[in-house]
């Protein structure tokens, strides 16, 4: 038997085998559900990672904020002089509060505010 005859014999056997092989009927449903499950798990990991990174940024902002020197002022119900704030800064707590409001307010409340 020559190499060419052997190759044609093997090719014929593969063709015969291929004609009889088919995927099961429920394969499509299982495949689609496994892909969706993997996407869901990947999204959960991504949102978890983003959440952890944002918490770390807030913690770093908390530890890196400059210490405010306390003045020796007697506490009173009304301020004798108006505080002078030349600079306006956004604190990390305001950022967290804003994000919390964005995610916890119902959509109907948002619509009322927009109107």
For the stretch 81-110, pLDDT in tens is 666 666 566 666 777 777 777 777 666 666
**Whole-number average pLDDT of the chain:** 78
**By residue range, what is the domain housing residue 49?**
26-65+90-115
Interhelix angle 27-64/92-104, nearest 10 degrees = 150
Is 41 within the bounds of a domain? yes
Query: Residue 59: what pLDDT?
Result: 84
CA dist 96 → 51, 61, 68, 89, 91 (Å): 12, 12, 21, 14, 9
Number of domains forming the structure of the chain: 1
Is 45 within the bounds of a domain? yes
Is 1 within the bounds of a domain? no
Is 71 within the bounds of a domain? no
Mean pLDDT of 42-49: 95
**Residue spans of alpha helices (H) in the chain:** 3-20, 27-64, 92-104, 107-114
Mean pLDDT of 17-30: 83
Name the percent of the chain lying above pLDDT 70. 67
């Amino acid at each position: 038997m020559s190499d060419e005859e052997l190759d044609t014999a093997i090719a014929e056997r593969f063709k015969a085998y291929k004609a009889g092989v088919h995927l099961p009927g429920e394969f499509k449903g299982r495949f689609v559900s496994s892909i969706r499950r993997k996407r869901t798990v990947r999204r959960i990991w991504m949102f978890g990672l983003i959440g952890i990174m944002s918490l770390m940024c807030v913690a770093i902002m908390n530890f890196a904020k400059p210490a405010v020197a306390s003045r020796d002022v007697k506490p009173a119900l009304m301020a004798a002089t108006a505080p002078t704030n030349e600079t306006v800064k956004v604190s990390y707590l305001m950022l967290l509060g804003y994000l919390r409001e964005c995610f916890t307010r119902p959509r109907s409340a948002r619509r009322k505010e927009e109107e």
